[in-house]
């Protein structure tokens, strides 16, 4: 159908670097192998003029230094932040709808779980909200808690939305590769501060851990680092998708397959844990007392990746998680060089995480509840999936989500599932969402890759 090489605009920001003059920053700069620095951001002239988010110096401990930075000091010391209602949660129950066009193309009923409608625009709000809720409830000084995320995209946006919804501040450290549009979204969502630092997410994370949360840093005592996907609390939040599916499935039936995209594996791990819970005969594991337990291994989970970002496929081939040499896929939200150990363990049927944690009794029986099929498609396949979803169902998603739609195109589904597809089968696609897309890119992808072709 064509190639999308070069079609995705990587975006750029004009960087004015200033690492600061504090001792902590100087020590960090001297020991770090990364030469990039904390920076302020000036948006290109082609975009609407938006005042950049003020950037804290790496060790803005004193009130006068915080106020001099232009950031409201109350976002740091907690004075203006209120505790969230005890039962509040930032994520919502998302709709489950049928795609008539995809159903016709696949030869069975295709249902779309619309997590692109989450307030942050992606499924990541579920897991990150659960993580933040837990840490607020268990923080020694919850009214002073401050959350920090290293992200150039959906995870950072989810962190800001979750934290601010719960009445807490969030600081995002993002690499220099982050697009101006995402910086604008982070600011508009209410980030307490945005710090541009490092060429990679790893460098941004080191900056948080070593400087902002390190000895003497502004968040040393009350700051909490929010991982983007690799944490059991995040997987538990993501597992709520399955609980919702159990309540939403037509006629209460169990899906024959669930298709999800895989980056670091947080969504996949959550789905597998949720399926294990729904397969438990224990009433304590169900969210509604009238729900019937699902049958173990009756739902196949299809884990979709793009070429050049297939860390799960590489791990399954090697028999253990391995680190990719780099990311060449343009599906940037799938750009994790190593799948989470916990996600890998879930796939191969392990019930023990890297921390030695075993599921509680309420997580369901210790069984391998769902077979997993790993599939890898090209960026062009993913782009065509995005176009089909936009054309046929009026849903705009990024490449990382489009690769899941590609499973249902061009007669792939029977081969992926390893069995014939019949009209009475039901397949759920997790429409995970994401902001790395716009109408211009969709037009380019349509020109290069085409749309839906149904005989």
Q: Tokens for 444?
A: 């380019």
3-state secondary structure of 301: strand
Q: Tokens for 93?
A: 């129950």
Burial 270-283 (b: 16+ CB within 10 A, else e): bbbbbbbbbbbeee
437 and 418 in a single domain? The answer is yes
Q: Is residue 134 part of a domain?
A: no
3-state secondary structure of 300: strand
264 and 396 in a single domain? The answer is yes
CA atoms of 193 and 92, how far apart (whole Å)? 26
Domain boundary among 198, 221, 244: 221
pLDDT in tens, 380-408: 999 999 999 999 999 999 999 999 999 99
Structural domain harbouring 209: 14-82+146-221
Q: Is residue 29 part of a domain?
A: yes
The number of distinct structural domains making up the chain is 2
3-state secondary structure of 128: helix
Residue 282: its pLDDT value, please? Answer: 61
CA atoms of 280 and 288, how far apart (whole Å)? 13
User: CB under 8 Å to 173, separation ≥6 — which residues?
Assistant: 148, 149, 150, 194, 195, 196, 197, 198, 204, 205, 207, 208, 212
CATH number at residue 415: 3.40.50.1100
Half-sphere exposure of 167 (CA within 13 A, CB side): 15
274 and 156 in a single domain? The answer is no
Give the residues of the chain that fall short of pLDDT 50.
4-86, 283-289, 350-367, 455
Give Cα separations from 164 to 82, 116, 247, 292, 431 (angstroms).
Answer: 10, 19, 29, 37, 25
Q: Tokens for 453?
A: 């072709």
**Contact (CB, 8 A) for 19 and 195:** no
425 and 361 in a single domain? The answer is yes
Residue 73: its pLDDT value, please? Answer: 30
DSSP H or E run through 156: helix 154-165
31 and 63 in a single domain? The answer is yes
Q: Is residue 174 part of a domain?
A: yes
**Contact (CB, 8 A) for 449 and 8:** no
Pairing of strands 300-306, 372-377: parallel
Residue 334: its pLDDT value, please? Answer: 77
237 and 255 in a single domain? The answer is yes
205 and 248 in a single domain? The answer is no
Radius of gyration (Cα) for the chain, nearest Å? Answer: 22
211 and 298 in a single domain? The answer is no
């Amino acid at each position: 159908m064509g190639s999308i090489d070069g079609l995705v605009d990587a975006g750029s920001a004009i960087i004015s670097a200033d690492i600061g003059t504090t001792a902590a920053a100087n020590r960090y700069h001297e020991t770090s192998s990364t030469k990039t620095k904390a920076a302020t951001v000036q948006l290109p002239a082609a975009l609407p003029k938006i005042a950049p988010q003020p950037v804290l110096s790496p060790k803005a401990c004193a009130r006068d230094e915080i106020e001099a930075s232009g950031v409201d000091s109350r976002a740091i010391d907690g004075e203006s932040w209120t505790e969230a209602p005890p039962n509040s949660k930032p994520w919502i129950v998302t709709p489950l709808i049928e795609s008539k066009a995809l159903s016709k193309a696949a030869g069975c009923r295709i249902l779309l779980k619309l997590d692109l409608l989450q307030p942050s625009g992606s499924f990541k709000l579920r897991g990150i909200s659960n993580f933040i809720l837990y840490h607020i409830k268990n923080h020694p000084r919850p009214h002073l808690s401050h959350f920090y995320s290293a992200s150039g995209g959906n995870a950072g946006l989810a962190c800001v939305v979750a934290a601010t919804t719960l009445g807490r501040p969030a600081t995002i450290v993002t690499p220099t590769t982050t697009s101006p549009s995402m910086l604008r979204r982070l600011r508009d969502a209410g980030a307490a501060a945005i710090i541009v630092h490092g060429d990679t997410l790893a460098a941004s994370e080191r900056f948080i851990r070593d400087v902002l949360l390190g000895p003497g840093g502004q968040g040393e005592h009350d700051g909490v680092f929010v991982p983007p996907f690799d944490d059991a609390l995040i997987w538990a939040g993501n597992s709520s998708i399955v609980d919702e599916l159990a309540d939403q499935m037509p006629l209460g039936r169990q899906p024959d397959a669930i298709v999800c995209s895989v980056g670091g594996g947080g969504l996949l791990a959550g789905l597998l844990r949720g399926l294990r819970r729904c397969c438990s005969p224990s009433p304590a594991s169900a969210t509604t007392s009238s729900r019937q337990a699902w049958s173990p291994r009756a739902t196949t989970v299809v884990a979709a990746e793009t070429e050049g970002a297939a860390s799960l496929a590489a791990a399954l081939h090697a028999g253990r998680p391995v680190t990719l040499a780099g990311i060449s896929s343009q599906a940037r939200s799938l750009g994790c060089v190593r799948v989470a150990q916990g996600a890998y363990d879930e796939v191969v049927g392990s019930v023990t995480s890297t921390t030695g944690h075993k599921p509680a009794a309420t997580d369901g029986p210790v069984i391998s509840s769902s077979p997993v099929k790993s599939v890898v498609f090209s960026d062009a396949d993913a782009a065509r999936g995005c176009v089909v979803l936009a054309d046929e169902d009026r849903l705009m998603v990024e490449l990382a989500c489009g690769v899941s739609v590609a499973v249902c195109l061009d007669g792939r589904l029977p081969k992926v599932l390893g069995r014939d597809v019949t009209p009475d089968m039901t397949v759920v696609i997790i429409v995970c969402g994401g902001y790395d897309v716009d109408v211009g890119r969709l037009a380019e992808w349509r020109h290069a890759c085409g749309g839906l072709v149904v005989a």
